[in-house]
């Protein structure tokens, strides 16, 4: 996979990059996550404004799922993108495993499209491995793609053995992306999964790259090393976490922002280039595991 810059998506130090997908498409290296949105009616206006702010700043990728809020988050995203140029957006949603077969997948996809107010998804993901045979799920994905309901498909929370099983299925190698948990204190995918995906041309999407604002890693934002790096860049610790997740130009990070101000900070992080000394300091403080651990996911 290669990377290049896309005009109109500008962080503090330059444009947001894109990752070339195995089917010839591209995705930006930073998108907007939506997990835990639509949980508080008092925050709804700010959440919609945050998504619109991101689009205005050039972030065209929005990630959601039918699971989030039992569809309420897709409805919120649909409201946020209403009236925008759909052709400029990259909308990603996910199907839960129990819906990922002949009986339910098309209905699930159509319900997601209705809530989002769009005719197609740019990327449709299997949310995690389930009981429906992969052969059936792949056949359903390909049917949706043939009929124009989705442009491409991928998976989420798949470990190496899951990816290898997928690759043994006819058409399984049409998978363009795998979305996994990845942040400074969750680096297990670097041991074998990320190299496998790079070798096979599968893009890695990183969810919760900010460790959900530190909730997944208690005290992370107060860490002295992280704050020292932030100080050298006149940035916040959270911005450094996001810049770190995108440091290789290949990882697609999808942080959530609940307000326009938070969204602006996220976009600014795309312009931060960490130095070799910064990366070495963070590696010493937050080392990747020496051996492959079980896949970390939520």
Catalytic residues: 68
Burial grade of 188 (CB within 10 A; 0-12, 13-18, 19 or more): buried
Q: How many CB atoms lie within 10 A of CB 149?
A: 19
Burial grade of 232 (CB within 10 A; 0-12, 13-18, 19 or more): middle
Pairing of strands 14-20, 3-11: antiparallel
Instruction: Tell me if 202 sits within 8 A of 174, measured CB to CB.
Output: no
Terminal-residue alpha carbon distance, the chain: 27
The DSSP code for 257 is: -
Helix ranges (DSSP H) in 97-236:
105-116, 134-146, 160-167, 193-200, 224-232
Residue-level length of the chain: 298
Instruction: Tell me if 121 sits within 8 A of 94, measured CB to CB.
Output: no
Beta bridge partners of 178: 155, 204
The DSSP code for 28 is: E
**Strand boundaries in the chain, DSSP class E:** 3-11, 14-20, 26-28, 61-63, 90-95, 123-126, 153-156, 177-181, 203-207, 252-254
């Amino acid at each position: 996979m290669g990377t290049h810059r896309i005009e109109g998506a500008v962080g503090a130090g330059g444009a947001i990059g894109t990752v070339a997908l195995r089917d010839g498409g591209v995705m930006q290296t930073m998108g907007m996550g939506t997990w835990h949105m639509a949980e508080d009616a008092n925050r709804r206006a700010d959440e919609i404004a945050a998504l619109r702010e991101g689009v205005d700043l050039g972030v065209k990728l929005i990630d959601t799922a039918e699971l989030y809020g039992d569809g309420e988050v897709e409805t919120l995203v649909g409201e946020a993108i209403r009236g925008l140029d759909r052709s400029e957006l990259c909308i990603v949603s996910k199907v839960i495993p129990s819906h990922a077969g002949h009986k339910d997948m098309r209905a699930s996809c159509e319900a997601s499209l209705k809530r989002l107010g769009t005719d197609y998804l740019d990327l449709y993901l299997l949310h995690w491995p389930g009981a429906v045979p992969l052969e059936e799920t792949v056949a359903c994905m390909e049917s949706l793609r043939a009929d124009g309901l989705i442009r491409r498909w991928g998976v989420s929370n798949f470990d190496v053995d899951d990816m290898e099983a997928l690759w043994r299925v006819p058409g399984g190698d049409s998978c363009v992306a795998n979305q996994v948990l990845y942040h400074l204190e969750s680096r297990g995918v670097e041991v074998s999964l990320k190299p496998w995906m790079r070798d096979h041309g599968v893009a890695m999407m990183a969810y919760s790259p900010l460790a959900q604002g530190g909730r997944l890693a208690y005290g992370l934002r107060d860490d002295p090393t992280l704050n020292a790096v932030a100080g050298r860049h006149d940035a916040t610790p959270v911005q450094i976490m996001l810049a770190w997740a995108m440091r290789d130009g290949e990882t697609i990070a999808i942080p959530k922002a609940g307000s326009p101000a938070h969204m602006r900070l996220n976009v600014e992080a795309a312009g931060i280039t960490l130095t070799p000394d910064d990366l070495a300091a963070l590696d010493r403080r937050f080392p990747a595991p020496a051996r492959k651990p079980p896949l970390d996911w939520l």
